[in-house]
Structure 1
Amino acid sequence: MSLIQKLAGETAIYGIPTILSRVLNFAIIAAYLTSQLSVENFGNMQLMYVFAATAMVVFTYRMETTLFRFGSKKETTLNAFTTAASAIIGTTVILAIVIIIIAEPLSFLILETEGLHRYFYYFAAIISLDALAAIPFAKLRLDNQARRFSLLKVINILANVFFILFFLEGLPWLSLNTELGIQFDETNKLDYVFFANLLASSLVFILVIPVYSSVAKSWAIDTALLRKMMHYTWPLAVIAFAGVINQQYQFQILQWVLPEDLAKESVGVYGAASKLAIFMTLFTTAFNYAAEPFFFKHAEAKTDRNVFGNVAFAYTIVAVFVFLGVSYYLDVVQWILPQKYHAGVAAVPILLMAFLFLGLYYNVAIWYKLADRTQIGMYISVGGAFVTIVLNILLIPILGYFGSAWSTLLCYVIMVVVCYILCQKYYPIQYPVGKILFYLVVAVIFWWISDQGRSLLDDHLPYILIFNTFLLFVFAGLIYFKDRRYIRQILA
């Protein structure tokens, strides 16, 4: 079995359970909660999860990737794990206390509303539990325990879905029986959503405790190693923070830039519609879960660097199929959302292409992690965050939330180009750039043909779907006849 086939197998193991769980989560968040929550509350939920994503970077400071770097050899895994876990445990306690202390000003700054500081109490606990589970999850990936990793992720999502449905459907029904003395607060549905998340995170933390207990007898903190790990990881933390800005802060900027009467509604509409890009984010997430430890292990084994270029090409082939597949059937997929959110669906193809480029960045960006030049990666990511912020500020007043979508795409394109140029200078890897660009351009052309065909077919949905399916088969045939030999070669 080739290295790429092994990577594809691990991506499938990470991806299939992740997809199944995310589909359930997507149905709850995008379909169910949009009907349960007001647009304003859905916007508040979106902003709180932006805060959570940012805080997770601070809480974990990318120690997972650092564990891959210093624990990729079997004889170093245990020492690297206990040292990394000790650091995370100590900082998590401190940071959770800080959030609780400053909850009120955070509420006013992020939600621009007083009296909602209790949300931050929930998230101080949620983020702490998730941070404490992060290093055990990283160890499972490092130990090639993809099935166990994926099972725990599925349990997390299923538990979250179960608790949300229990609180928003079961609790109101139980409250009808006055003898039980159970009350349901119709005005605070968002509290129930966050409490459900807290319970799910608590359950998963309990389930990863065996990873901690399995090394308890050998627990040690290597201070010399910790210094090396912190030197390696702090630029990665900045990179991760910049990544959160690129992916999440568009919602916060929308709230700041748009007029007050449009801001909350736009955040809710764009936030809900952007979740239709989940199909690309699922693929890139599963790929990254499998690829990061794969790259580190094969770098240690002195594998031919060209395999990294072949991985990027294989990723591109699958990703352009995802791009076209979702874009071609948006007319059907959009009905997962209530009709009041359909206005934002037109931005989804832009976001799909943006997340495709994010996956390409994951491919190319491995060089600075392997070469121990994480500071260069930090400069690239900070530059990307700066581009995102500037473009959002410039484009949102003109294009609304479409400005956010275009800003995200342009940012990732620039980051891929800059990262590739620096890769060739410091850690040369031969990427099939011509082939990758060809399929990216052709995919956009095929999307444009579909968009033009819509007008010619008078927006008649059955004909549009038949036409788009035909285009998808033509695209698949193009790949087969043009590059079947190359694909067979890299899979050999």
Structure 2
Amino acid sequence: MSGIKKLAGQTLWYGLPTIASRFLGYALNILLFWLYKPASTASITQVYAVIPFLNILFTYGLETSYFRFVQQQSQDRLYNTLFSSMIATTVLFTGTLIAFAPTIAAAIDFADHPEYIRWIAWIMFFDSLATIPFAKLRQEGRPRKYALIKVSNIVFNVGLVLFFIGVCPRWYAENPNNPLLFFYDPTIDIGYYIIANILASILTLLLLFSELKAYRPRFEWTLWKQVMQYSYPLIVVGFGGMINEMLSRLVYTRVLNLPREEELRQLGIFGANYKLAVLITIFIQIFRMGAEPFFFNQSGSKDAPRTYARVMKFFVIACCLLWLGIVVNLPLIKYIGYGKNAADYGEGIGIIPILAMGSVFLGIYYNLTVWYKLTNKTLTGAWITLAGALITILLNIWWIPLFQYYGSAWATFVCYAFMMVISYVMGQKHYPIPYATKKLIAYLVIVVLLFFLHKLFTHFVPNIWLGTGLGLVCMGAFTWFVVQVEKKEFQKMPYIGKYIK
């Protein structure tokens, strides 16, 4: 239980800045949805779908590799070698992106905005250089500084976006010759969203000064080759994962055969609802930040498999409750999230339950991947992810022309379900973990049934407040049921155990 308690504590500290940053990020998205019609936000949706792919390329699995090898190598040797590698490749990749920006912009169907790609390149430059210092903070168990830097980044970012998109246009409309606006170009418009991100990334790197100062320009070729043998399958895993998550938005306008304005409108609607659907990934990201080093640190314990099983159980319970909380409050989310444009963006709100459950499957899959990371079978993980990516590609090409964004949502659902199941089956052969499989499936089925019950009620009684009230009842009923079933487990939990009788 002490291990679980430690994981909970680390997850809390890594989670607080992540929760703050993601929710403030959602607040920024809501601002865009309130100010701009779907077709206008399509460019941001498309460009930001490129960033996760670039992140995999720029960091090439070195963060996970750092956690793996720091248990076996001198921390200074590893830190200097990996950071030297990161600096060299970051300069190379950034220069390439800037040089080929027009070609890349045309490839994602936004040839009229090559400057977006150049700006994204600078975001990647500064963010990539922060990767190894952040890994050092996490490995050394310094979550408070990690939290401070992450929160500073997002607060600065939010402030800049509000200034560039909310304040500057008003000042410019009142007085185009205002000397305080010497830097402002109204033709950039929504592009200031990206510029604000660049400035926030610069701030983050400056706040990591003490970690950067610890770097010495040394490179050990033998150590680097050893790390890359472990790391390169993670690159494949990462790219496959991003194909599963982001490909739909990159290819959406390519596979549709509609007027350009309608394609952009649909892409804007799809991108907006996708962002709301993956609210659950905030929790998954928080969990992974605490869990990844925790899993490696626990790997030498004889009780490690049992610990991993218990972590999975609590994770699935939390995901079920989060999923239910999202899907029974869709009408409320629509009006809060989209404001005066609720009718436009709300057209696609039906994809949220599908995508959110897909996110639950993805979170379970991330938990299951512990087996191939601990047994050094990362290449097997790469093949699983590539198979999922192939499913995503084929189903998106097939279903988007037939069902538009609903087709893409179901493609995501099927892909993550496949990856979850195949990883579970293979993991039990190579690294058996005593998961409470039947019980966890039952929890998933129960929340889906509660959702359909709620949907049936709101169909016949379309009152937003009655629907919200019933949603709270459904969440309360599920919570009560789980506490009764898992009473002994909850009584052992830190902090909350004393309240469970």
TM-score normalised by length of structure 2: 0.93
**Partner residue in 2 for 1:57:** 56
Q: How does 1:82-101 map to 2 (within 5 A)?
A: 82-101=80-99
Residue identity in the other structure for 1:241:
F
Q: Look up the SS of the partner of 1:187 in the other structure.
A: coil
Write out the 4+ residue segments of structure 1 that deviate beyond 4 Å after TM superposition: 489-492
Supply the distance in 1 between the matched residues of 2:447 and 2:345 (Cα, whole angstroms): 27
Match of 1:152 in 2: 149
What aligned pairs does 1:219-368 form with structure 2 within 5 A after superposition? Answer: 220-261=218-259, 262-335=262-335, 336-337=337-338, 338-339=341-342, 340-368=344-372
Q: Kindly indicate whether the alpha-carbon contact (under 8 Å) linking 2:372 and 2:381 is maintained by their aligned counterparts in 1.
A: yes
Quote how far apart the aligned CAs of 1:167 are: 1.3
Q: Cα distance, 1:462 vs. partner?
A: 2.0
| 1:152 to partner: Cα distance | 1.3
Deviation at 1:400, TM superposition (A): 1.2
After superposition, what is the alpha-carbon deviation per residue over 1:76-100, rounded to whole angstroms, capped at 9, x for unaligned?
Answer: 3222222111111111111111111
- 3-state SS of 1:263 partner: helix
CA distance in 2, matches of 1:3, 1:208: 29
Please name the residue that 1:483 is paired with: 486
Q: Pick which of 310-319 and 335-344 moved more.
A: 335-344
1:397-408 alignment to 2 at 5 Å? 397-408=401-412
Q: Provide closer, same or farther for how the CA distance between residues 34 and 179 of structure 1 changes in structure 2, counting only shifts above 3 A.
A: closer
* 2: CA distance, partners of 1:201 / 1:6: 30
Q: Find the aligned partners of 1:62 and 1:388 in 2 and give their Cα distance.
A: 22
The CA distance in 2 between the partners of 1:478 and 1:303, in whole Å, is 28
2-structure distance, mates of 1:104, 1:126: 17
Deviations 1:427-481 (A, max 9, x none): 2222111111110111111111111111232x12222122222122111121122
Residue 103 in structure 1 maps to residue 107 in structure 2: no
Q: Judge which range, 18-27 or 436-445, deviates more.
A: 18-27
Residue 81 (structure 1) aligns with: 79
Shift of 1:181: 6.9
- State the AA in 2 paired with 1:277: A
In the alignment, structure 2 segments of 5+ residues that lack a partner are none
Match of residue 168 from structure 1: 165
Q: Count matched residues.
A: 486
Determine helix, strand or coil for the equivalent of 1:428: coil
The alignment yields a C-alpha RMSD, in angstroms, of 1.8
When residues 468 and 54 of structure 1 are mapped into structure 2, their CA distance, relative to the original with a 3 A threshold, is same
Residues 274 and 344 of structure 1 are in contact (CA less than 8 Å); yes or no, is this contact kept in structure 2? no
Q: Give the deviation of 1:398 after TM superposition.
A: 2.2
Aligned-partner Cα distance in 1 for 2:469–2:35: 35
Q: Does residue 1:138 correspond to 2:169, yes or no?
A: no
In 2: Cα distance, 1:287 partner to 1:344 partner: 29
Q: Verify: 1:439 aligned to 2:443, yes or no.
A: yes
Partner in structure 2 of residue 28 of structure 1: 28
Contact 2:39–2:266 (Cα < 8 Å) also in 1: no
> What TM-score does the superposition give when structure 1 sets the normalisation length?
0.94
What SS is found at the alignment partner of 2:486? helix
Separation in 1, partners of 2:129, 2:141: 20
Distance of 1:303 and 1:149 partners within structure 2: 30
* % identical aligned pairs: 32
Distance 1:350 1:105 in 2: 34
Amino acid at match of 1:321: L
Deviations 1:353-384 (A, max 9, x none): 11111110111011111111110000000001
SS in 1 for 2:152: helix
Q: Is the 8 A contact 2:126 2:202 kept in 1?
A: yes
- Give the Cα–Cα distance (whole angstroms) in 1 for the partners of residues 457 and 39 of structure 2: 37
